[in-house]
Structure formats: structure tokens, C-alpha cells
Amino acid sequence: MLYSRGAKQMLTKKQLELLKFIDNEVSANGVSPSFDEMKVALNLKSKSGIHRLITALEERGFIRKLAHKARALEIIKLPDLKENNSSRLKLVEQESKYSNDLNIVEFKAKSTDLPVMGKIAAGTPIEAINQVSHHISVPSEMIKNHSNHYALEIKGDSMIEAGINDGDVVVIKEQNNANNGDIVVALIEGHEATLKRFRRHGSSIALEPANSAYETRVIPDNLIEIQGRLVGLIRSY
């Protein structure tokens, strides 16, 4: 788990990776890297993800932008690392319903078992899977009523800029409605399931990816069934 000195703030893996890259480039070259260089170094497909990471690091007090200077980022502090070489599960929770950045919280709370209902596409929609493949433990305080929650394995990379990666497990609260900005499980025409951000436009629903390599799909609302809302995410390292 990644801590900043004297604070409870935590960094995601990508935030730490970017902070270390900037620090190394400034130390070696005397100037911070360009956004294109950062994008390549972190293997991101768009600079919008870098913008969000920079903003998050600045808000947490790790870096500072220098006014009126190009490529000017100053490292204010580096985090303390409490190393643990063993593989462990970590829980990733959304900071807010509309957040594009995710906090990483240590997985050590009292746990509850949830059914994993197969895989869900974060990319091109795949056929819906509605049979329990196995169970997974999640912190009890994360869900108020485990009977209306379930888990799905992520397949694809269309939500990576929301911190949702291929191979992650998402925790879903069952519900059949959604607010604009929610990340939802959407069933399309009764047989294709996908995880996307929900936007209503009149009688149509836009299913938005969080990856500029993918296009938003706009579908008549009578062809879409909302099956749940994202409330958390579990990642195995």
C-alpha cells in the first residue's frame, strides 16, 4: 500500500508510476517530461489520462505546476512505501459517483462472500453470463445488504481511464435504474452485457467508454436493461 508521509492519502499504481517517472526525468535532464512522453511511459492511449493523473498528484500535494513555464512540474514530496512482497487482494473504491480516479484501500476488513456471475465486457459487448462461477470475499462495510450485490470479472480495456482494468473484479449493486454518470451493467437486446458509463438523451441511452480508443454507443432505451450499478472494484496483485 502506498502512503504519503504524515498523511492518510494513498496513490494508485498509475499515480505512483507517473510520479516516479517525472522525478527520474527531472533528476536526469533538469526538465519535466512532456505529456506525450508521459503517455508513452505509462502505456496510455490518450493524454486525457495523463491530465487526470497530474491533477490527482497536484491535489494530493506531490507535485506543483510552475506558472509561465513550459514542461514545468516540480516534485514537492515523494511517498513512503511500505513494501509487501506477498500477493494480496486490494479493494478499490470510487471516491464519488462521478470520479475518474480511484482510491486503493487495504483489504483487511471483515469480509462477506459474493457470487461472481461470470465475465462482463469493458470493450465490445459479449453475451451475458448469469450463472455463478465462484465466490469472492469483499469487506462487509462496503455493502449494506449482500443479498442484492454480486461480482463480475472484467474483460477488456474500454474503462481503463476510470481505473477499471482487464482482469479486475467489479462489485455491482442490483438495480434497474441509473443516474447520468453512473457506471452500470447494461444488458443490450437481452443478450449482450457491457460495463459503461450511463447517459440518458431523451428516449436513447448513451453507453460511454472511459478510453478514447472506443466510441460511445447510443441505443434506444427500450433495447437496454440496467442490471446494476458499480459500487466497488477488487484487484489482485
Active site residues: 158, 196
Q: State how beta strands 111-121 and 149-155 pair.
A: parallel
Per-residue cell: 219: 441505443
Q: CA 98, 78, 72 angle in degrees (round to 5)?
A: 75
User: What b/e string do you get for 173-211 counting C-beta neighbours within 10 Å, with b at 16 or more?
Assistant: beeeebeeebbbbbbbeeebbbbbbbbeeeeebebbbbb
Q: CA 39, 41, 45 angle in degrees (round to 5)?
A: 35
**Could you tell me the CA-to-CA distances from 23 to 27, 35, 219 in Å, in that order?**
6, 14, 45
d(CA 208, CA 198): 7
Asked if 42 contacts 50 with a C-beta cutoff of 8 angstroms, the reply is yes
Asked if 142 contacts 215 with a C-beta cutoff of 8 angstroms, the reply is no
Per-residue cell: 52: 487526470
